[in-house]
Structure 1
Amino acid sequence: MERNSGGQTRGPLFYIGAGGLVLAMAVEALAVLGRHAGIPLLGAMEIIQASILLMASTAMLSATLNKGHATVTLLTTRVGERARGYLHAFANLMSALFFVGLATGVLWLAVEAWNDHEQSELLHIPFRPLRIVSLIAAVAIALVFLRDMGRSLRGRA
C-alpha cells in the first residue's frame, strides 16, 4: 500500500472508490455526448447510481479508518486527558450505534426483498449485490468505531 502526501494509506478502498468515480464520470460524459449527437445512452443514471454507492461506501469506510471525519473540539480541548478519552469513547459509541442502525435497516430491506429479484428498470442491474455492499460497509464502519472506542477507553486514541 502506498502513502499519499497526507500520510494516508492508499489501499484497495482508494482504488475501488476511484474506479467508481471514473466510471460515473465516463458514463456521464458518454451520456452528454450521446444526447448532443442524438444517440441517448439509456440506463446511464442506473450505472451512475451504482457507481455512487461504491464511491460513498468506500469513502465513508476510508474516512473512518483514517480518522478523517470532521470533529468539533470545543469541549475536548478544555478537559483533562481522562475526560477527553471518555468523550472520544462516547462519540465513537454513538457513531457505531448510528452505523449499526443503518446496517440493521439495510439488512431488513435485503431480507424482505431477497426473493423479489429487484433490479433496475432499463439495464436490470440487480439490487441484491448493491444492498450487500451497503451492509458490509455499514458493519465495517461500525466495527472501526467500536475499535476506536476501546482504544479511547484504554487511553490509546
Structure 2
Amino acid sequence: MYLKPATVEDAPLFVRMERASGTKEFVIPYDLETHQTLIVDQDVTYLSVMDQDELVGFMILRQDDTKSVEFRRIVIEKQGRGYGQRALQAMEHYCFHQLGCSRIWLDVFASNARGVHIYRKWGYTEFGCDVHQGQRLLLMDKTRSPALPHSTNHTGRNR
C-alpha cells in the first residue's frame, strides 16, 4: 500500500467512492466540479491510496500557514482490509516528514464510532466539538513528537 498524488482524471472515481454504501453516512460528498477544483488548489493535497497499481481510496489534506495540516477526508473503497490504517500511517509520515508540519487536525462525526476509535488508537485527542447539519462533530488533533527526526526522502511506498 502506498500513497501517490491524485490527478484531475481521478475525480470521477472519487465521486463514486464517496457515494458508496458505508461511506456516504460519514462523508458529505463533493460533486465532480468541487473535486476537480480542489485537486488543483495549491493549499489542498489529494492523495490516492494504492494497493500495487489499484486505486483503493483517497485522502484530502489542506495546509495552512501555521504548520498545521487539516486531514479533511479519507475514503477507502475496500474496507476491512487494513488500507485505512496503513494509509493513515503513511499520511502522518508524509505530513510530519515531507511537509514538515507540527500538527494534524481533523473533524469526525461523533456517530462514526469506528472512525473515532481508530483516530484515538493512533493518538489523536479531542480539542473541541462543532455541529454540522445537525450532527455533532468531534475536533481531534495530533502533534508531531519532538523525537521524530525531519526527513524528506520517504515516499510512503512499500514494496
Check whether TM > 0.5: no
TM-score normalised to structure 1 length: 0.26
Greater per-residue strand proportion: 2
TM-score normalised to structure 2 length: 0.26
- More relative contact order in 1 or in 2 (CA 8 Å, sep 6+)? 1
Rg larger for: 1
